[in-house]
Chains A and B, each alone.
Chain A
């Protein structure tokens, strides 16, 4: 009955590789997000999608490319991984884009770059 699920939970890879993280939500929400949590536990928005369309790209390097095949899925592909990409990446969803909508989070993907 997981509401927002991400795979994989852990991802260990080498610098320069390309990797993808998948996210699915079964809440029927219209809006999905990717957040990055750094080593200091600070959560920061990366992307926001509403009805499969990109509505926020918060100055994220273009090595990061989100894709939303449908409203229930938002995947994150990362090219040419760098050491600084090591972090926990969280997917979230909300019913809409209004500021007062609570967001529901997955359990994160811990990405470690060797």
Chain B
């Protein structure tokens, strides 16, 4: 059973065109929701952890928010260097690993 669903699968934006990526999760007792960025040929790079509904975190043009059922990654005025795959993950039931979504592939064109 899928615990993490990301949408859209792919997103193409013009430079400066703000948008949001969605991550829906179905776990009880959330012990953290993680956002990662993955560039081609590289490993996932940790961005944020959110622990409770209402929490927000920001880093440059990225802002992550969390509700009881989903998380959003808002990208404000993106630049081409923001192009990457963005992955969302939650701890497994055992807590010893992460369950990842399938990611959103973001392309920002000049």
Residues of A within 8 A of B (CB): 4, 31, 33, 40-45, 48, 50, 55-56, 58, 90, 92, 97-108
Indicate whether B102 reaches chain A with its CB closer than 8 angstroms.
yes
Q: Which of B42, B43, B45 has the most CB of A within 10 A?
A: B43
A11, B56: Cα distance in complex, Å: 41
Q: A107, B42: Cβ atoms under 8 Å?
A: yes
Residues of B within 8 A of A (CB): 31-32, 34, 36, 41-46, 49, 51, 85, 87, 89, 91-92, 94-100, 102-103
Which residues of chain B are near A108, meaning CB under 8 Å?
41-43
Q: B31, A98: Cβ atoms under 8 Å?
A: yes
Q: B45, A42: Cβ atoms under 8 Å?
A: no
* CB of A98 to closest CB in B, whole Å: 6
* CB of B103 to closest CB in A, whole Å: 6
A107 with B43, Cβ < 8 A, contacts A48-B96, A97-B96, A100-B91 known: yes
A56 with B43, Cβ < 8 A, contacts A41-B102, A42-B102 known: no
A100, B100: Cα distance in complex, Å: 14
A7, B44: Cα distance in complex, Å: 17
The residue from A33, A97, A105 contacting B95, defined by CB atoms under 8 A apart: A97
Which residues of chain B are near A102, meaning CB under 8 Å?
32, 34, 46, 49
A106 with B43, Cβ < 8 A, contacts A43-B100, A100-B49 known: yes
